[in-house]
Amino acid sequence: MGHHPDGEDVDDFAPLDEFGNVDASESSDANESFDANESFDATHDGHAVYTDKKRRRFRKAAWIVVVCLVAALSGTFAAVAPHAASAAIESEGSAGERSQAAAVLPVVKPASVVASPVSGAKQVNPAAPVTIAVKDGTLDRVSLTSTKGTTVDGALTPDGLSWTASTPLEFNSSYTFNYTVADAAGRATSKTESFTTVSTQNEADAAMYPLDGSKVGVAQPLQLTFSEPVVNKAAVEAAIKVTSTSGQAGAFHWFSDTMVRYRPENFWAANSTVTVDLKLFGVDFGNGQIGNFNRTNTFKIGDKKVAIADAVSHTFTVSINDQQVGEWPDTMGDTRFPSARGYLVLMEKYRVEHMDASTIGLKPGDPAYYGQLDVNYATRLTPSGEFIHQATDSALPYIGVTNLSHGCVGLGPDGAKWVFDNMGTGDVVQVVNTQGDYANFDDGFGDWNIPWAQYAKR
């Protein structure tokens, strides 16, 4: 142990370990190093050595104090003790700076957006819902416009979580979504997305008969003719609602992939009104064909006018609302060209109709060839050429006596004119006692010749 000249032990300044003992590594004079530039006076018996040690210990203590102050200010030791962790930590939500995970501070999730249709989509159904929904954020300033300059109306929910278009899109158009989305920290991002709708070649149209606002007879079926083949027939039927003031139910019957008809089990009620609500816009017909319209058509039903043409008694009898109003002698198809049997629905009328024997396969030299001639008061029964008309002058002596026509119902001038003036589209003629077969399904409206159970079955 060294001794200070003033009587103090040198080791009294030596550092102590955690048990209060002197740290030998710090107290040994042999372990002390000297700066080569330092000098001391040997005549003071080691006093310079002692003074230098003291100076170095002071510098160490000063550095420790500085480090502790810096640590305290920076919060390094803030959580050493429970009472030291009471200082509030600023959240990222208020700072709006962190989107990646980090120690201590929470993370604000980025806003995620789901748009329908998705960006870049092709052949989008114009009737498809158009929406944008956001999670972990809100929407602002949403717009949807087409390259044609059309703006699509839409509504943003009060909470800003979704936007929905309120008007339908157009066919064969490109649309662009522009919107801004903000996350929970208020950071806003503007985005643009685009898509295109079904092209023109994939539009499907339909024509309806009877025409809107028209008046027809009790036997007139509703007919829809489609521009494209219908594969999804059930979907198309579901999009067509037929109602009547008479409350009559009906059924569809498909005669081909492009033509369907609808009728009730029995004739329409006299003087009723039929409404057809066509909601075909956006309906998938199949094979990528999409319906392109919605429409409501209404037509009226007139009095019940039914005629019975008898090929044996050679009579033509007419009733209105089940009350007979007239009877006239007739001549009908002969054995070579018998008149079609069953129900035939009146189609159209001509004051004078030109007829040509070649249209039914007759040629000069054939005993049945009549060349070309005009007939009066012609009311069409079938597209193939059966009419109710005034018999020719050469046939007038045979009406009420025998059948000699090529399938038509020939009447005298009074009977033919009465039918022309008083009967019309949708009224019905029932042909009985003929040797002819039923007219083909596409040769006029032979719907009433199909039993109801069969008609109502697809």
User: CA 196, 198, 201: angle at the middle one, nearest 5?
Assistant: 130
Edge-to-edge strands, sheet with 349-356: 342-345, 428-432, 305-310, 315-320, 323-331, 409-411, 387-390, 372-380, 349-356
Q: Tell which residue, 275, 270, 269, 279, has the closest CA to residue 298.
A: 275
Strand partners, 372: 356
Contact 13, 54 (CB under 8 A): yes
Return the active site residues: 389, 408
| Site of tokens 């008694």 | 313
Q: How far apart are CA 195 and CA 116, in angstroms?
A: 10
Contact 430, 307 (CB under 8 A): yes
Secondary structure element (H or E) that encloses residue 188, with its range = strand 188-196
Q: How far apart are CA 66 and CA 77, in angstroms?
A: 14
Peptide bond into 117 cis (omega under 30): yes
| Site of tokens 């370990």 | 17
